[in-house]
Amino acid sequence: MNKSTAIRISDLTKKYGEKTAVDRLNLEVQEGEMFSLLGVNGAGKTTTIRMLSCLSTPTSGSAEVFGHDVTKEADTVKNIVGISTQDTAVAEKLTVEENLRFMAEIYGKNKDDAARVIRDFGLEEVRSRKAKTLSGGWKRRLSIAMAVIGDPKILFLDEPTLGLDVLARRELWKIIGKLKEHTTIILTTHYMEEAEALSDRIGIMINGRLVQLGTLEELEAVTGRKGLEEVFVHVAEKEGAYHE
Amino acid sequence: MNKTITFAKRNFLEMSRDPLSYIFCVAFPLVMLVIMTLVNEGIPKEGVSIFQLDNLTGGVVIFGQTFVMLFTALNVATDRGGSFLTRLFASPMKSSNFTNGYILPMLLIAEVQIVCTGVAALVISLILGTTLSIPGILLMMVTCLPSAVLFTAIGFIFGTLFNEKSAPGLCSVIISLGSFIGGIWFDAEKTGGVLYTISKCTPFLYCTKVARATIKLDFSREAFFLPLIIVIASAVVLMGLAIVVFRRKMKADLS
C-alpha cells in the first residue's frame, strides 16, 4: 500500500510577542510513522503540537494534516487528529467508562467503540471507577484512550509518560507500540530511552528550530556519538540550548 | 446539537457528584426558608410581611438561583484551569456546543430548585395552616426561568474571565449584593432612599418581584409584567455578553 504524507510543515513559525517559540520549521511525516520530537523545556515541541492540532494559530508558514491546512480547514483537521496533552485531560468526577463514552459521542462514535477501547487499553478493572480515584498511570492510560476513541489518523502524544514510574511507563509503551500499527504518532518526550524504543524517526528541536532529523542510526552517524542521550546532549550543547 | 447534549450531560453529571451542589443549591435555600419562617413566627405580624410564606418562597427561589450562578462560575473556571477543555478545543466541538452545554444543565438545576423550594414551602404551609398557591408554585417554573438565565449568565462571565479561586469570591459578592438590593430578606421598597434607588437600577429586585407576584398569582402590570420584561431584557443582554466573552476568550486561548 502506498503511504501518503501525513504531515507537511513549511516554514512554520509561532511568535509570542518578541519570543519566537517555533522558528521556520520544515518537516514531513509519513503515514504510519512514529515520529519523536525531542528538546529541552521551551524548545517548541508542545507549541508545534498545539499548532498541528489546531489549538494554536501559526504566526506564519503553513502546516497540512493529510492535505488539510490546519488554519483554513481546522474543522476537518480536528476530526482526524487526537491529542493527549501533558497533563491528564480527563473529567475527574466521571467514571472511566463515562469519560470514554463522552468522548465517543463527541466524535460521533457509540458505546460499542467505548467498550472496544476499554478492552484494547486493558481498562476493564477500573471501568467503573471515577477518574479522580485513579493512579497516575491509569489516568494517563485513560487520557490516551480518550485521544484514540475517535479513530484519529494522527495521534499527538505530548510527554505521555511524564511523572510515571518505570512499570507504568513500560505498560504505556506497549500500548503506544500497538497504536503505532495503525496510527501515525507524533510523540514529544524528555525520556531518551522512550524515543529510542518507540520511534521510527527523531527530530531534535533547540530554541524553536529543528536542528537534527533522522533515524537513530542516522543521528549517530552525523554526530559521531553512540546512543540517543549522547546524541541529544551533543546536539543541544553544540546548538547552545538554554536549559531552565 | 448532539455534542451540546453530550457536553451538557457531562456537566450535569459532574455537578451532581459534587456534594457542595446539594448543600448550596438545594439544602441551604431550604434551610433559609425554614429559618426565616421561624423568624416570622417569632415577630409581631403587624407591618412585617416579608417573611410571610408567600413572600418568602419567591425570595428563596431567587436566593437559590444566586448559587446556580456560583456553580456555573466554578464549573467553567475549573474546566478552563485544567487540560480537559484543551482536549475538547481540539475536538470537533464548536463554541455554541460549549456555551449551550454549560448553560442547559444549570437551567435544569434551577428548575429542580424551584420544585424543591415549592414542595418545602407547601409542607410548611400545611404545618402552619396557611394557604399557598400550588398553581403559583408551578408557574414559577416558567416565570423564574429568565432570572435563572440571568444568574447563569453572570456566573458564565465570571467563570470565563476569572480563575477557580477568584470567580467564586466574586460570585459571593453578587450573592450578598443580590440578597440585599434584590430585597430577598427585607422589603427594598420600604427602605427607600439611596438603597432603593440602587435596587431599582439592578435586575435583582425585579427577579424577586416576578417570583413573588407569580406565587401570589398577581399578574398585574406593575407587580409582574414590567418586572418580567426588565428581567428578560437583562437576561438576554447578559447571556449575549456571556457568549461573546466566552467565544473571545476561546479564540484568544487558541491564538
SS3 for A100-141, per residue?
HHHHHHHCCCCHHHHHHHHHHCCCHHHCCCEHHHCCHHHHHH
CA distances from B56 to A110, A144, B28, B62, B82 (A): 47, 51, 14, 10, 40
In tens, the pLDDT along B36-57 reads 888 888 877 666 677 788 889 9
Residue A132: the pLDDT is: 94
pLDDT value, residue A12: 97
- Interface test with chain A among B6, B12, B87, B94, by most A beta carbons within 10 Å: B87
Q: Are A68 and A154 in contact (CB under 8 A)?
A: no
Contact B87/A106, CB-based, under 8 Å? no
The identity of residue A130, as a single letter, is K
Chain A hits for B87, Cβ within 8 Å: 83-85, 89, 146-147
The predicted-structure confidence for B178-213, as pLDDT tens digits, reads as follows 888 888 887 778 777 888 899 999 999 999 999 999
How close B95 gets to chain A, by Cα (Å)?
12
CA–CA distance, A55 with A47 (Å, rounded to integer): 9
B95-128 vs B134-143: helix crossing angle, rounded to 10: 160
pTM strictly above 0.80: yes
Task: Count the residues in chain A.
Answer: 244
CA B189, CA B208: separation in Å to the nearest integer? Answer: 12
By CB atoms closer than 10 A (0-12, 13-18, 19+), residue A72 is: exposed
Asked if pLDDT for residue B1 goes beyond 70, the answer is no
Cα–Cα distance between B248 and B90 in angstroms, integer?
16
Sort out which chain B residues have CB atoms less than 8 A from A105's CB and list them. Answer: 2-3, 6
Per CB distance under 8 Å, which residues of B are interface residues toward A? 2-3, 6-7, 9-10, 13-14, 17-18, 82-84, 86-93, 254-255
pLDDT at position A107, please?
94
- The answer, for A103 touching chain B at a CB cutoff of 8 Å, is yes
For range B81-87, the mean pLDDT = 90
The pLDDT tens digits along chain A (244 residues) read: 457 999 999 999 999 999 999 999 999 999 999 999 999 888 999 999 999 999 999 999 999 999 999 999 999 999 999 999 888 889 999 999 999 999 999 999 999 999 999 999 999 999 999 999 999 889 999 999 999 999 999 999 999 888 888 888 898 899 899 888 889 999 999 899 999 999 999 999 999 999 999 999 999 999 999 999 999 999 999 887 655 4
Nearest by Cα to A78 from B91, B94, B47: B91
**Contacts A84 to B, Cβ<8 Å:** 87
Contact B98, B246 (CB under 8 A): yes
CA A90 – CA A146 distance, rounded (Å) = 8
For A52, list phi and psi in degrees, rounded to 5: -70, -25
Q: What is the mean pLDDT of the segment spanning B201-228?
A: 95
Q: What is the pLDDT of residue A2?
A: 56
